[in-house]
Each structure stands twice: as structure tokens, then as C-alpha cells.
A and B are shown apart, each in its own frame.
Chain A
Amino acid sequence: MDRVSVAGGAAIALLGALLLLDQTDVLELRFAWAAPAVLAAVGVVLLAAGLDGPRKR
């Protein structure tokens, strides 16, 4: 299992779901929520990649 892909993929899918809910008027996203959501998704990918260490050669 590639933890970076799993964690990053889950974070990106959740971010996409949040944006989809806004675009379908299920919820009204504001910057107060959107900015942390984007940064959290980016942070999850970065954190997972950082914890995973260097690429195996």
C-alpha cells in the first residue's frame, strides 16, 4: 500500500466532495471554510509524502 497516495487521494476526494456540495447548493462555502479545507488537503499530501521518506531506488 502506498500511504502517500491513499492519504492524499482521500484528502483530495474529500475536498472535491466539499466543492461539489457547494456547487450543487447543498451548502454555501465561504473563504473561512474553503481556505482551511484547501490548505488541509495540501497539508495532508505534504505530510504523508514527508513521513514516507525518500523515494526508493
Chain B
Amino acid sequence: MRMLGLERRAACFVLLSNAVTKRPRERGRNPRSRERLVRHMRVRELPSREGVSTLHVPRGRIRMRARRAALSVGARARDVMRRSFRAVLNSAITELSSSPAFHRLVDEVVQYLVHHPDVQALIHEQTTSFVDEAVDDLRAEAARADTAVDRAMLALRRRERKKS
């Protein structure tokens, strides 16, 4: 049966970890696992002696794999935290939105804000300030245009006087 790449690698990782953790005599005894280790993990085969391990396992590679695994464990932990927090938050929101006491509280707060004179003044100021600004601009522009027309008329009158 042909194994998939990922599975093969996982199997080799297990074999390697066994090779490191097991006692030297037990390393690489199984010929099949030994073959896999040599082929896929580039484990160097040493000249065999009876009763002694025949495989040289690079420890740095194991360390790197362990680090990667630790990183993925951290990411998984964060993901789990995020999911659980989201679930708690959703349940709290659902609970609050369905609770009549919360609705009453929101109504009270809104009523308090609506009837507060400062809030009323603020809303009034905000709605009127935009209109006031536009009207002021229109008036100022019209007054400027009036002055321009007056100036032109005055110049016309002076010219007429000079002619006469």
C-alpha cells in the first residue's frame, strides 16, 4: 500500500522519535522502519556491529521538529482560546438580548439620555450647525457679489461723469 506524503512523514517522525528515546539496542531493529528512516529522513547508516545500534539519528532534526510541534501547539491553543471566548461571548449576547431585564435597562438608559438637557442641546446644536453654516456661506457669498456689482456700477458712473 502506497502511503501519502504527509502520512509517510508522520510515520517517519514517530520512528525517529522512537529511535531517539529508545535504548540504543532497540534502535533500527525492525528492518522495515529502518528502511523508511534511511530513505525518507536521510538517516545515515553506520557500519553494523552486533548488538549495537546501526543508525545515526541527527538530533538537530528532531529538535527542529519538536520546535515546530511546540509552535503549532501554541497556535492551536490560541485558536481554542479564541473559539471558546467567541462561544462565551455569543452565549452572553444571546442571553442578554433575550432577557427582559436587559431590555428594561436599555430603555431606561435611552430615556434618561433623551430627556437629559445637555444631550438635547447637543443634538439640537449638531442639527442646526450644518444648516447655519450653509446659510452663512450663502449670505457671505451674496454680500460679496453685491459689493462686486456695486463696484462695477460705481466705475460705470465715474466713467459717465468723465465723459460728460
A, B: real partners: no
